[in-house]
Structure 1
Amino acid sequence: MAYYSIQNIPLTDLAKEFGTPLYVYDADKIREKISVLRAAFEGIDLTIKYAAKANTNLSILRLMRENGVDMDVVSPQELEIGLIAGYEGSNITFTPSGVHFSEIEYAVSKGAIVNLDNLSVLEKFGQTYGSSQPCLIRIKPHVFGGGNEKIMTAHPESKFGISIHQKAEILSIVEQYNINVIGLHQHTGSDIKDGKTFEQAASALFDFAYDFKDLQIIDLGGGFKVPYSPEDPGVNMLEVGQIMSNAFRAFCQKYGRELRLWVEPGKFLVSESGTFLAETNVVKRDPVKTFVGINSGLNHLIRPMMYGSYHYIFNASNQDSSKQEDYRVTGYICETDTFSFDFNGKQNERLLNKVKEGDIIALANAGAYGFTMASHYNSRFLPAEVLVDGGKARVIRRRETLEDILRNQE
């Protein structure tokens, strides 16, 4: 899980060359995850739709495109970035939530396939386009699944999707405007490792689908759990793939013809590729605990403070495990700002190889929802990003300057 180097380049060398704080991504790990996903659905007409909100760096998107992975986006800006990265509009699905209808019109104008998740927008789509434009409909299957309540998206109280109990209203609108519904979609949540949860959500979607006679696509979303520590097995993708594939084949047989299966992994494809590097500013020994204060904070990696998420943390500058201590790893933002949470979402201490000022602290699983959720809070600069590919490291986002922060201010 955690290594002191990426493609034989020591993390400390990367920190020295490019400075800290720094996001580093391993291109080979992304390719590996793409291959694992394809192998899990062998024999299925599968399209992988990368959930780009996880990491929208142009170089990451180009890597996805070069490896035959399409995109799923949630904003016009992500769509534009995808086009700049070389995608065709037809390779992009637009799956927004609660947006103004003008964003739907924009996506259609760019050739993207839109995924509609409420009755009002579905009716406006029908009034505007009739049968002239294809669309997907996002269904809420009333299934609980996900790492915590903040990332569950298919339960009855979720804002996402149209409830399965509103089938009559959906069919009425589709029939009234002759809407060209080519696919049905659902997304259960994130950090799901149990194939039965996916099977339950898929079953609800399949039952819903029989009343739509011209479907081409079933989109089962993503949310596959990744391992967060060396002891964490993550999801058994081959097992999940087999369960979902068997259910999909049975559905297609009953439906009467073969459909295409889409999945939308985000974190699964990029999380493990990323390592976040920061330098130790201070080792603060307190009567209660010892704090390691690094030159970063929730402004650069907000997942722990926002979700109570676990990131494996290690001292990249010290591989000697004979002397270890418990440390609480904290940031420099002027409020509670902790990186070290346990698996139950509680702040805790981590057993690290002895830390001294200047040591490089590494946080694993930083490839997803790291930089994309970063901010200028406290007027701090955003980190630089580096991609390691073919044994060579290159900057894929320059470190910011004060001019960048002030650019649009008066």
Structure 2
Amino acid sequence: MPSSQNPISIQGVSLASIAEEFGTPVYVYDGEKITTQIHTLQEAFSKVPLRIKYATKALTNVSILKLIKHAGAEVDAVSVEEVRLCMEAGFKAEDVMYTPNGVSMEEIKEVVELGAMINLDNIPMLDLFGQLYGNSVPVCIRINPHIMAGGNAKISVGHITSKFGISIHQLDRILEVVDKNNMLITGLHLHTGSDILDAEVFLKGANVLFEAAMKFPDLRFLDFGGGFKVAYKEGDVVTDIMKVGDRVSDAFLEFCKAYGRELELWLEPGKFVVSESGYLIVQANVVKETPQITFIGVNSGLNHLIRPMMYDAYHGVYNLSNPEAEKRKYNVVGYICETDTIAAERDISEVRMGDYLVIKNAGAYGISMASNYNSRLRPAEVLVWDGKANLIRKREKFKDLLHNQVILDI
């Protein structure tokens, strides 16, 4: 029998049938898994007034955003374009937290006009914002707590050398700017990184935020970011959401007593919500044996899933077409003209030319980081919802590569 880790179907819909109907490569998302992840967070933090602000950058398809809204979550956006996509999905401007980094004041002004909540992470922009708006527009401040947390260094963003947030050591300077400009600060925010396992890390960050929050009398919420770890392989250790929710909620309620009134607790999960829901189905173009390694060359690569090459991320790979065959060791590689390894030294059921392979944990930072590198086309996206496979993004065609080019007559 195939391994229990080998995903054959979603909600009774065969992944192989999706590949046949929509072609490959194709992203497939399990809508029930997305809603389950949101409901898990709601349960874990049920003791506090909670707002879940899904980190839109993980997966921005408007149909997915609509599903997330349906499940009772709101959104966090990092660009004006993401803000607009969220509004296209039906979110009200007040449901959107805008957390940019290194953007121009012109973009921030545009988002102010749209009506989203502004979250600023540097003193120059905070000062300029105060000069422009005073206390007429509420603002949130992103604090860098100087906590090293998370997995790969590229996704650890709360340490002292990170570009994100205003250093907690600059709190006095923040207060000077806020006081000088008579600003209305209604939220404080931090995010230490991704793949965080331990409740203690969240509590450590929370304590930094609690201490700073006592300096701001008009707060409405504290935003603790995200970073909950999901499983990538069998036996993986994951964040104990219930434990984190229980301990952070208790600490938050104690803080609210000291603060003198009840605030809202905000979270910004991205990968946690969509990673495990997503599968990238590809097809084996070639099985190439060498004296040392057998390669499976597939019709996709880092142009569609850059995480293995960029973050050394692990993604499970399984043979949909020949799941019961004896396992052999393979390197799964893409068709991009670069070192393009999707999975190295993996035991996979024997692969033949033309077999469909499924790559797991492809929901987060898959299509959202995809490109046209090597002038390759981006895949279609399919959402399985209520037992039906629904096309939610068409596969690109060659004409899409030329769409915005202005071709000179030379």
Normalising by structure 1, report the TM-score: 0.97
Aligned match of 1:368? 364
After the TM superposition, which residues 238-317 of structure 1 pair with which residues of structure 2 at under 5 Å, given as runs?
238-317=242-321
Q: How many percent of aligned residue pairs carry the same amino acid? A: 51
Give, in angstroms, the shift of residue 18 of structure 1: 0.5
CA distance in 2 between counterparts of 1:15 and 1:231 reads 28
- Whether 1:334 aligns to 2:337 is yes
Asked if structure 2 preserves the Cα contact closer than 8 Å seen for 1:55 and 1:367, the reply is: yes
2:181 aligned residue = 177
Letter matched to residue 388 of structure 1: V
Counterpart secondary structure, 1:276: strand
Amino acid at match of 1:29: K
Shift of 1:68: 1.6
Aligned pairs for 1:10-409 (under 5 A) are 10-321=14-325, 323-340=326-343, 348-409=344-405
User: Partners in 2 of 1:68 and 1:11 — Cα distance?
Assistant: 28
Question: What's the CA shift for 1:311?
Answer: 0.5
Letter in 2 for 1:405: L
1: distance between equivalents of 2:156 and 2:338?
A: 28
**What SS class does the counterpart of residue 131 from structure 1 fall into?**
coil
Distance, in Å, in 2 between the alignment partners of 1:253 and 1:11 is 51
Partner secondary structure for residue 86 of structure 1? coil
Amino acid at match of 2:360: A
In 2, distance between residues paired with 1:140 and 1:259? Answer: 21
Structure 1 consecutive aligned stretches of length 4 or more whose deviation exceeds 2 Å: none
1:276–1:366 Cα contact (<8 Å) kept: yes
Distance 2:218 2:405 in 1: 51
Provide the C-alpha distance between the structure 2 equivalents of 1:243 and 1:60, rounded to a whole number of angstroms.
30
Structure 1 distance, partners of 2:40, 2:264, is 19
Q: Which runs of 5+ in 1 are unaligned?
A: 341-347
The more displaced of 236-245 and 47-56 is: 236-245
Amino acid at match of 2:361: N
C-alpha distance in 1, partners of 2:32/2:338? 37
CA distance in structure 2 between the aligned counterparts of 1:55 and 1:126, rounded to whole angstroms: 32
Shift of 1:2: 4.3
Alignment-mate amino acid for residue 291 of structure 2: P
Q: SS of the counterpart of 1:395? A: strand
> Are the counterparts in 1 of residues 145 and 167 from structure 2 also a CA contact under 8 Å?
yes
Deviation at 1:319, TM superposition (A): 2.0
Q: Deviations over 1:176-218 (max 9, x none)?
A: 1110100100001011111111111111111111111111100
Aligned residues: 402
The letter of the residue matching 2:342 is F
SS state at 2:68 partner: helix
CA-atom RMSD in angstroms: 0.8
Q: Is the 8 A contact 1:140 1:161 kept in 2?
A: yes
For each residue in 1:125-172, what CA deviation from the matched residue of structure 2 results, as whole angstroms up to 9, or x when unmatched? 100000000110000000000111100110000000000000111001
Q: Secondary structure at the match of 2:110?
A: helix
In the alignment, the residues of structure 2 paired with residue 227 and residue 119 of structure 1 have an alpha-carbon distance, to the nearest angstrom, of 37
User: Could you tell me which amino acid in structure 2 is paired with residue 400 of structure 1?
Assistant: E
Cα distance in 2, alignment partners of residues 67 and 391 from structure 1: 17
SS at match of 2:390: strand
Residue type at the aligned position of 1:66: H
Question: TM-score, normalising length from structure 2?
Answer: 0.97
The answer for the alignment partner of 1:345 in structure 2 is none
Match for 2:223: what amino acid? D
Aligned 8 A contact 2:281 2:359 in 1: yes
| Conserved 8 A contact 2:39-2:71 | no
SS at match of 1:339: strand
Instruction: Measure the CA separation in 1 of the matches of 2:312 and 2:71.
Output: 33
SS in 2 for 1:124: helix
- Measure how far apart 1:230 and its partner are: 2.3
